[in-house]
């Protein structure tokens, strides 16, 4: 039941769906506009309806959609159903299983597949497929069966899924303690000056674009994040690199690479879907635009995943091939660099 159809929302058991604390420097703005900027795929009209039903709370009290937010306000959206209870519908979705035993599954996620349901993505997710194929997966802290970690919708590659409570607990601890191994392959704009390096900088929501993460170099906001990289191959205007995560923040690689001036190739959210390096020749522009069509997403693949097996206590590691679309883009750049003089 949707909250906007229920005028007696305050009489039901409510579940918190979103919670925010307004920044100290936030200017005066209507709460419906503020929340539209904060929550991906949630329309202003939807927020207004929820507020009308009493589901938008500020400092514990319901407010109307025209309420002006104030610095340090504590905002919650509450609805009369648990955040995911109506979204977890089993669906017969093919899953590329790299490894499976009685304790865990390692899957290879394709581009375009969201890991778990959320606003704007209520079906067709990896989790919808998992609960169809596997019964009684353990619930993680966010009530998402089996999930230990996630990768972005248009990022491809490996994920581990727990099949038992013991496996979930032990795997989650490894990710929290940063003892798991996660290596990615990415194609980025520019010719990196060093063969290897480390990017360190707190990551938090961009206050001007809530759909982006950004680096707070002074460490005055966000969460600690560290990314290591090394160059695999240089193509002049773009570079193929390997990245290893020391932490696992949202959009960590994408935001860190933008921060050092080398956004991922064709990463629309972080500015990589424009010609950032190269010549002004029309043939070059056509080459890049055609390569964007070959790879219509960010050039990022979670290639290697390693962890201590929760039952055997032995370190195991898995790898997956770079997907066809990304491999084709790499080959195009390799051939371009080979036959053209890069200046």
Catalytic residues: 152
Residue 133 and residue 95 in contact, taking contact as beta carbons nearer than 8 Å: yes
**What is the Cα–Cα distance from 162 to 145, expressed in whole angstroms?**
8
Taken in order 130, 131, 136, 139, the sign of the CA dihedral is: positive
């Amino acid at each position: 039941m949707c909250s906007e159809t229920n005028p007696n929302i305050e009489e039901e058991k409510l579940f918190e769906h979103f919670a925010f604390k307004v920044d100290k420097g936030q200017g005066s703005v209507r709460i419906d506009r503020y929340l539209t900027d904060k929550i991906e795929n949630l329309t202003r009209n939807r927020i207004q309806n929820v507020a009308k039903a009493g589901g938008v709370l500020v400092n514990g009290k319901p407010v109307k959609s025209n309420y002006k937010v104030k610095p340090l306000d504590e905002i919650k959206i509450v609805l009369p159903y648990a955040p995911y209870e109506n979204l977890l519908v089993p669906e017969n979705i093919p899953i590329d299983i790299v490894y499976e035993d009685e304790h865990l599954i390692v899957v290879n996620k394709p581009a375009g597949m969201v890991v778990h349901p959320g606003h704007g993505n209520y079906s067709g997710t990896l989790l919808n497929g998992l609960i169809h194929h596997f019964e009684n997966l353990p619930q993680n802290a966010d009530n998402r069966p089996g999930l230990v970690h996630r990768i972005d919708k248009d990022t491809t590659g490996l994920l581990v899924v727990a099949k038992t409570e013991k496996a979930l607990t032990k795997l989650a601890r490894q990710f929290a303690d940063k003892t798991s191994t996660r290596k990615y392959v990415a194609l980025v704009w520019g010719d990196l000056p060093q063969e290897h390096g480390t990017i360190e900088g707190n990551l938090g929501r961009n206050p001007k674009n809530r759909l982006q993460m950004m680096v707070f170099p002074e460490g005055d906001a966000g969460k600690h994040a560290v990314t290591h990289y090394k160059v695999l191959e240089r193509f002049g205007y773009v570079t193929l690199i390997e990245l290893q995560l020391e932490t696992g923040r949202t959009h960590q690689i994408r935001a860190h690479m933008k921060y050092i001036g080398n956004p991922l190739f064709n990463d629309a959210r972080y500015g990589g879907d424009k010609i950032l390096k190269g010549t002004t020749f029309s043939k070059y522009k056509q080459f890049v635009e055609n390569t964007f069509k070959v790879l219509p997403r960010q050039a990022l693949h979670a290639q290697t995943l390693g962890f201590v097996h929760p039952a055997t206590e032995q370190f195991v590691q898995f790898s997956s091939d770079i997907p066809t679309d990304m491999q084709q883009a790499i080959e195009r750049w390799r051939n371009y660099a080979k036959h053209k003089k890069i200046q």
